[in-house]
C-alpha cells in the first residue's frame, strides 16, 4: 500500500490500474483510513483540485475517493477534513465535504409500498429484505419503491438489477435521502455515468452527495445543471465553474 507522500498523479495511475470498481474503492478507502489526517487532507485538496479542471485520470481517482468517503466508516475522516478546509478558508471544499443532515422529507418518500403477503398483512422488514435478494424482475420492480436503506442496500447487489432500474430509482421525486446515500456508497453503480447524472439532477439529493460528482460531468450536462433552477444554488455554481467545454470528456 503506497503512502500519501506519493503525489496525486502516481496514486491516480495506481488506482486506474485496478479494474474492478469495488476493489478500487476498497483500496482507496483503506489508504485514506490508514493515513494521518494532515496527509488525507492534503490529498483531498490536491485530487479535488485536479479533478475540477477535468483531468480524466484524477476524475477517476476522485470518483473512487468520493465513493469511499460516502461510506459511514469514513465519517470521522470526512468531518475532520471538512473542518480543516473550513479553518484554512477553503469554504468550497468544506461545503463539498461536510455531511448534510436530511431535511424534512415528504411522507410519500418514506411510505412503504403495499406488498402484502397472502394473508393480506404488510410485509415485515425482514420479508422485504428477502424479496430484494430474489432474482425476479417482477419483485425488483416492487422493491424499487421500498424506502428503507437496508432493503435498498441489498437490492443494489441483486444481479438482475439493471442500470435503467437505478436511473428510475434515483430520479424519483420525492425520495428519501437515505436511499440516495446507499446508491452513492455502491462502487458497482457509481461508475455508471447515467446513474451519477440522475442523482445530480434530483433536487432531493443532499449537497454532500451531489457536489463530489460535479467534476465528472461532461460539458453539456454541466451547462444543463448550471441552468436548472430547481437545483440548489451551490450545486449550480459548482457546475458553472467547470473548465471550458473543450477540456471536458
Global pTM? 0.85
CA distance to 176, 196, 201, per residue, from 209 (Å):
13, 10, 12
Note whether 199 and 243 are same-domain residues.
yes
Domain membership flag for residue 28: yes
Note whether 227 and 141 are same-domain residues.
yes
Domain membership flag for residue 231: yes
Where does the pLDDT of residue 247 fall: very low under 50, low under 70, confident under 90, or very high at 90 and above? very low
Q: How many separate domains does the chain show?
A: 2
Peptide bond preceding 112: is omega within 30 degrees of 0, i.e. cis?
Answer: no
Domain membership flag for residue 76: yes
- How many Å is the Cα radius of gyration of the chain? 19
Note whether 32 and 118 are same-domain residues.
no
Note whether 80 and 139 are same-domain residues.
no
Note whether 89 and 128 are same-domain residues.
no
Of the residues 97, 129, 144, which one is the last residue of a structural domain?
A: 97
Note whether 131 and 64 are same-domain residues.
no
Residue span of the structural domain in which 188 resides: 107-247
DSSP SS3 for 140: helix
C-alpha cell at 234: 451551490
Domain membership flag for residue 66: yes
Return the higher-pLDDT residue of 249 and 72: 72
Note whether 127 and 196 are same-domain residues.
yes
Note whether 37 and 71 are same-domain residues.
yes
Of the residues 97, 124, 158, which one is the last residue of a structural domain?
A: 97
Note whether 238 and 181 are same-domain residues.
yes
pLDDT > 60? residue 1: no
Where does the pLDDT of residue 241 fall: very low under 50, low under 70, confident under 90, or very high at 90 and above? confident
In this predicted model, what pLDDT tens digit does every residue of 69-106 receive, in sequence order?
999 999 999 999 999 999 999 888 888 888 776 566 66
Of the residues 97, 127, 155, which one is the last residue of a structural domain?
A: 97
Domain membership flag for residue 102: no
Domain membership flag for residue 127: yes
Note whether 55 and 121 are same-domain residues.
no
Note whether 111 and 129 are same-domain residues.
yes
Where does the pLDDT of residue 107 fall: very low under 50, low under 70, confident under 90, or very high at 90 and above? low
Domain membership flag for residue 2: no
* Whole-angstrom distance, CA of residue 196 vs CA of residue 16: 19
* Whole-angstrom distance, CA of residue 41 vs CA of residue 54: 20
Give the residue from 196, 243, 218 showing the smallest Cα distance to 63.
196
Give the residue from 223, 178, 226, 227 showing the smallest Cα distance to 205.
178
In this predicted model, what pLDDT tens digit does every residue of 119-171 receive, in sequence order?
667 888 999 999 999 999 999 998 999 999 999 999 999 999 999 999 999 99
Domain membership flag for residue 1: no
Instruction: Report the chain's mean pLDDT, rounded to a whole number.
Output: 86
Note whether 192 and 243 are same-domain residues.
yes
Amino acid at each position: 500500500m503506497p503512502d500519501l507522500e506519493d503525489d496525486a498523479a502516481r496514486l491516480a495511475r495506481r488506482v486506474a490500474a485496478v479494474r474492478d470498481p469495488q476493489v478500487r474503492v476498497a483500496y482507496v478507502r483503506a489508504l485514506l483510513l490508514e493515513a494521518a489526517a494532515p496527509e488525507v487532507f492534503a490529498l483531498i485538496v490536491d485530487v479535488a483540485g485536479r479533478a475540477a479542471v477535468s483531468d480524466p485520470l484524477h476524475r477517476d481517482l476522485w470518483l473512487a475517493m468520493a465513493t469511499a468517503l460516502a461510506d459511514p466508516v469514513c465519517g470521522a475522516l470526512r468531518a475532520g477534513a471538512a473542518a480543516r478546509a473550513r479553518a484554512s478558508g477553503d469554504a468550497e471544499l468544506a461545503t463539498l465535504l461536510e455531511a448534510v443532515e436530511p431535511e424534512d422529507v415528504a411522507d410519500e418518500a418514506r411510505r412503504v409500498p403495499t406488498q402484502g403477503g397472502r394473508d393480506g398483512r404488510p410485509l415485515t422488514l425482514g420479508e422485504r429484505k428477502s424479496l430484494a435478494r430474489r432474482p425476479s424482475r417482477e419483485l425488483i420492480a416492487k422493491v424499487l419503491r421500498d424506502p428503507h436503506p437496508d432493503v435498498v442496500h441489498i437490492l443494489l447487489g441483486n444481479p438482475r438489477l439493471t442500470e435503467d432500474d437505478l436511473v428510475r430509482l434515483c430520479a424519483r421525486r420525492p425520495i428519501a435521502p437515505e436511499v440516495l446515500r446507499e446508491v452513492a456508497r455502491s462502487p458497482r453503480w457509481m461508475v455508471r455515468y447515467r446513474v451519477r447524472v440522475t442523482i445530480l439532477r434530483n433536487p432531493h439529493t443532499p449537497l454532500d452527495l451531489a457536489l463530489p460528482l460535479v467534476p465528472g460531468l461532461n460539458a453539456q450536462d454541466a451547462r444543463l445543471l448550471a441552468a436548472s433552477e430547481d437545483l440548489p444554488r451551490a450545486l449550480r455554481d459548482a457546475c458553472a465553474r467547470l473548465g471550458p467545454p473543450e477540456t471536458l470528456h
